């Protein structure tokens, strides 16, 4: 599906990361991968993971810094000449922003940091990478239904995800004529480092699993396989979309079994 496609993966932290499941699926389906990591803390894991998945290179990139984004894209272009796929799997909110009621927790600084790292970073990466992206290339990012529906404790992260989903539509609209597709995957809850920062995440996981048409939570691998599809030419007609990989949770106003 993605044989010999050169795909840059941003947002790998550890083996539980959604980016790890995406990379495993991509690698098994023949893609060549390049990885970035946020800071030195993640370097050892990323180097090992890269070896296991036939990675071409690893490069540090704090997405809050334009200079790091520039260096990352330059590294990919130096290695590959052009880029066939980009995975943005990055999110961050200060802990006090994703805990409690929004009227008690939101601050100007918390709003700015959350939107910068979780939403602008996507725009910044795409802006830098698109001139080097091949025809029939594909970009994906990760979002959550908290962008559309109020979700306890998700707060300002929901606002940032709404912005991210809007960015997907704007970039898809203008990059389509260059042969570049842009989509997001709205994943159901999965236990990861980022998710553990959300207050009450365990309850979220339990309630979600009990209320999907599939009667279970989804797996990171299911997100990974959908990502591989979207990054492949098989998804050639799909752009500007939010694709839900959530066991069907989003289609219901109420669980029919209750």
Ligand X SMILES: NC(=O)c1ccc[n+]([C@@H]2O[C@H](COP(=O)([O-])OP(=O)(O)OC[C@H]3O[C@@H](n4cnc5c(N)ncnc54)[C@H](O)[C@@H]3O)[C@@H](O)[C@H]2O)c1
Q: Which of 28, 56, 57, 64 binds ligand X (CB under 6 A)?
A: 64
The question of whether 154 is a catalytic residue gets the answer: yes
**C-alpha count within 13 angstroms, C-beta hemisphere, residue 211:** 16
Of 17, 18, 127, which Cα lies nearest the Cα of 66? 127
Radius of gyration of the chain (CA): 17
Q: CA-CA distance, 109 to 197, in Å (whole number)? A: 18
CA dihedral 187, 190, 194, 198 (to 10 degrees): 100
Q: CA-CA distance, 107 to 90, in Å (whole number)? A: 21
Q: CA-CA distance, 31 to 53, in Å (whole number)? A: 9
Looking at the Cβ atoms of 82 and 200, the one nearer to ligand X is 200
The question of whether 244 is a catalytic residue gets the answer: no
Task: Compute the least distance from the CB of residue 177 to ligand X, in Å.
Answer: 27
- Catalytic residue among 37, 120, 144, 244, which? 144
x-or-dash pattern for ligand X, window 142-181, by CB under 6 A?
Answer: xxx-------------------------------------
Q: Please tell me whether residue 110 binds ligand X under the rule CB under 6 A.
A: no
Q: Which of 46, 63, 172, 180 binds ligand X (CB under 6 A)?
A: 63
- Catalytic residue among 130, 154, 244, 249, which? 154
Q: Please tell me whether residue 90 binds ligand X under the rule CB under 6 A.
A: yes
Are 141 and 240 in contact, with CB atoms under 8 Å apart? Answer: no
Q: CA-CA distance, 245 to 30, in Å (whole number)? A: 23
Looking at the Cβ atoms of 134 and 219, the one nearer to ligand X is 219
Of the listed pieces 77-85, 106-114, 137-145, 176-184, which binds ligand X according to CB under 6 A?
137-145
Q: Please tell me whether residue 11 binds ligand X under the rule CB under 6 A.
A: yes
Q: Which of 62, 79, 82, 96 binds ligand X (CB under 6 A)?
A: 62
Of the listed pieces 71-79, 125-133, 141-149, 174-182, which binds ligand X according to CB under 6 A?
141-149
Q: Which two tokens stand for residue 36?
A: 């970035």
Q: Please tell me whether residue 187 binds ligand X under the rule CB under 6 A.
A: yes
Beta bridge partners of 59: 36
Positions of E strands within the chain: 6-10, 32-37, 57-60, 83-88, 133-143, 180-187, 242-245
Q: Which of 13, 46, 218, 243 binds ligand X (CB under 6 A)?
A: 13
Question: Using CB under 6 A as the criterion, which residues of the chain lie in contact with ligand X when the complex forms?
Answer: 11-13, 17-19, 38, 61-64, 89-92, 117, 142-144, 187, 189-190, 192-195
Instruction: Report the catalytic residues.
Output: 144, 154
């Amino acid at each position: 599906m993605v044989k010999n496609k050169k795909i840059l993966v941003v947002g790998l932290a550890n083996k539980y990361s959604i980016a790890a499941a995406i990379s495993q699926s991509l690698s098994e389906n023949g893609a060549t991968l390049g990885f970035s990591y946020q800071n030195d803390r993640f370097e050892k894991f990323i180097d090992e993971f890269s070896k296991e998945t036939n990675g071409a290179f690893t490069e540090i990139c704090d997405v809050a810094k334009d200079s790091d984004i520039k260096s990352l894209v330059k590294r990919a272009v130096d290695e590959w000449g052009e880029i066939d796929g980009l995975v943005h799997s990055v999110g961050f909110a200060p802990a006090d922003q994703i805990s409690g009621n929004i009227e008690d927790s939101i601050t100007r600084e918390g709003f700015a940091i959350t939107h910068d790292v979780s939403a602008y970073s996507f725009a910044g990466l795409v802006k830098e990478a698109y001139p080097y992206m091949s025809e029939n290339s594909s970009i994906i990012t990760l979002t959550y239904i908290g962008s559309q529906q109020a979700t306890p404790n998700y707060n300002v992260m929901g606002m940032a995800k709404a912005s991210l989903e809007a960015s997907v539509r704007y970039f898809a609209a203008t990059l389509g004529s260059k042969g570049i597709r842009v989509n997001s995957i709205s994943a159901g809850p999965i236990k990861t480092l980022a998710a553990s920062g959300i207050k009450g995440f365990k309850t979220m996981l339990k309630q979600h699993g009990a209320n999907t048409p599939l009667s279970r939570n989804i797996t990171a691998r299911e997100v990974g396989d959908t990502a591989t599809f979207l990054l492949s030419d098989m998804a050639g007609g799909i752009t500007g979309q939010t694709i839900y990989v959530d066991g069907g949770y989003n289609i219901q106003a109420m669980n029919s079994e209750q």
